[in-house]
Amino acid sequence: MAAPSSGPVTTLAWRGDAHVGHVVLLDQTRLPDEEVELEVHSAAEMIAAIRCLAVRGAPALGVAGAYGLVLALRELAGRAAQHLELVRARAAELAAARPTAVNLPAALARVRARAERELAAGADARALREALLAEARALEAEERAASEAMGRHGAELLADGAGVLTHCNAGALCTVGLGTALAPLYVAARQGKRLRVYADETRPLFQGARLTAWELARAGLEVTVLVDGAAGHLLARGAVQAVVVGADRIARNGDVANKVGTYPLAVLARRHGVPFYVVAPCTTLDPACPNGAAIPIEERDAREVTHPRGIATAPHGVRAFNPAFDVTPAELVSALVCERGVVHAPNEVRLAALLARAPAP
């Protein structure tokens, strides 16, 4: 078992220098059967990896997108004007690979802005590559530190012996550090608290069964898997003292888009008087988005529903409804845990205050 404090797993890393380096991903489509590394050498390969969910989770997607833009510079040739054009075009393509998480376009905007500054200052292709890799690496380091801080803040909300229900995978596998929703669990375990963790399997793609159960068990935590529909019975039995989930995008008013199936948990948690915590870095907050209704909800291929793990369950040709996310209204969120601290009963005023505050050291 890997010690959680050492980082349960390496989701994503840049290997080599800015000129001949590449990205290495743990291919999450192969878990939990196999731990297979995927080498990514171009922006097009990164887009494919993002689309097929080899890499996933809002914070990891941001870092993946940033490195993807560094890889795009391989195509550089000719004059600086063309460099800028290429950076903008590839940033737009990478951002479009998945539409819901704000971290991906935000990370790309940051790296693109750096490119614009470097080019305005007369950087050549070589200098541009080095500058963009430095920017992507800084982003990665910040996400790692944010993960650790979320873990610290969130662990204070979890009592020794608590039952904790989580959905999808908001763990080490969706970040470059300890995770978002799972970071408090890893930190609490490090502090000697014994938790009973319940992981919704999370249809259609089974991220809870495949990824959350895998990384928690690997780190030595006690984990029990259940089908998504069984969470109501689990809560009714009093087995859960906290529901902890991540977020793909948080609107200005505190509405939270996260993996489909999150909203029912929030409604059930409220009914049973169990706190519902959202753990996400500040980069997940989208001040430009007024509320949940304005968050685009990706609809994915019907086959994910009709062919779990490739095996047909539904009769041939039946239609399917397959939203990847749902929206939990802010009023159901007991607290937002981010790297800057805990915001109880988040709303527009409290979130604006959070963003105005200087980042924690």
Q: Using the rule CB under 8 A, is 296 a contact of its own copies?
A: no
β-partners of residue 40 are 23
Fill in the DSSP letter of residue 361: -
Q: Using the rule CB under 8 A, is 267 a contact of its own copies?
A: yes
Q: How many residues bind its own copies (CB under 8 A)?
A: 59
Residue 263 CA, distance from chain mean position: 17
Q: Using the rule CB under 8 A, is 163 a contact of its own copies?
A: no
Q: Using the rule CB under 8 A, is 283 a contact of its own copies?
A: no
Q: Using the rule CB under 8 A, is 232 a contact of its own copies?
A: yes
Which is nearest to 182 in space by CA: 202, 203, 201, 198? Answer: 198
Q: Using the rule CB under 8 A, is 255 a contact of its own copies?
A: no
Q: Using the rule CB under 8 A, is 53 a contact of its own copies?
A: no
Which residue is catalytic, options 200, 248, 286, 326?
Answer: 248
β-partners of residue 23 are 14, 40
Identify the residue whose tokens are 């009714």: 236
Question: Max CA-CA distance within the chain?
Answer: 66
Q: Which is nearer to its own copies, 95 or 260 (CB)?
A: 260
Binding test (CB under 8 A) with its own copies, winner from 87, 213, 280, 289: 213
- The yes-or-no answer on residue 33 being catalytic is no
Binding test (CB under 8 A) with its own copies, winner from 130, 156, 228, 348: 228
Span from 69-77, 106-114, 125-133, 233-241 in contact with its own copies (CB under 8 A): 233-241
Q: Using the rule CB under 8 A, is 220 a contact of its own copies?
A: no
CA dist 213 → 81, 91, 151, 170, 319 (Å)? 48, 34, 18, 11, 31
Dihedral angle computed from the Cα positions of residues 131, 13, 42 and 143, in that order, rounded to the nearest 10 degrees = -60
Which is nearest to 90 in space by CA: 107, 112, 118? Answer: 112
The footprint of its own copies (CB under 8 A) covers 32-33, 167, 198, 200-204, 206, 209-210, 213-214, 217, 223-234, 236, 259-264, 267-268, 271, 297, 305-306, 308-323, 325-327
Catalytic center residues: 248
